[in-house]
Amino acid sequence: EVQVVESGGGLVQPGQSLRLSCTASGFSFGDYAMSWVRQAPGKGLEWVGLIRSKGSGGTPEYAASVKDRFTISRDDSKSIAYLQMNSLKIDDTALYYCSRRDGDYWGQGTLVTVSS
């Protein structure tokens, strides 16, 4: 059974950093791109970024709103994708979801709250 579980969310102050983890199981993790999508309270879905599989170059792509502040990486030996978030802003407050590829399987999300 395919499972995706996010962790690492919490309450941080503006300007601080946080690293989210996305732990996958039930499939050959290294063969798949992994995506991050966020949803601010009461709002729609916003694509954050994606990291390709190593076989497709292993490179990331980012939304303009997070580029140069967020970094996506992966550790295929552990079946984990990471979202390193630096210089956090109040507008980054959201439920952060991880999904396989472009959303065929999703985790339940981890909440990030940026507040002073």
Minimal distance in Å, beta carbon 108 to another protein?
5
Measured between alpha carbons, how far is residue 70 from residues 15, 26, 102 in Å? 12, 27, 19
- Rule CB under 8 A: say whether 85 interacts with another protein: no
- Using the minimum distance from each CB to another protein, give the nearer residue, 16 or 28: 28
Minimal distance in Å, beta carbon 4 to another protein?
9
How many angstroms separate the CA atoms of 58 and 73, rounded?
A: 8
For residues 29-54, b (16+ Cβ closer than 10 Å) or e, as one string? Answer: beebbbbbbbeeeeeeeebbbbbbbe
Binding mask 13-52 for another protein (x = CB under 8 A): ----------------------x-x------xxxx--x--
- Rule CB under 8 A: say whether 75 interacts with another protein: no
- Rule CB under 8 A: say whether 70 interacts with another protein: no
DSSP 3-state of 49:
strand
Minimal distance in Å, beta carbon 96 to another protein?
11
Q: Which two tokens stand for residue 73?
A: 């990486």
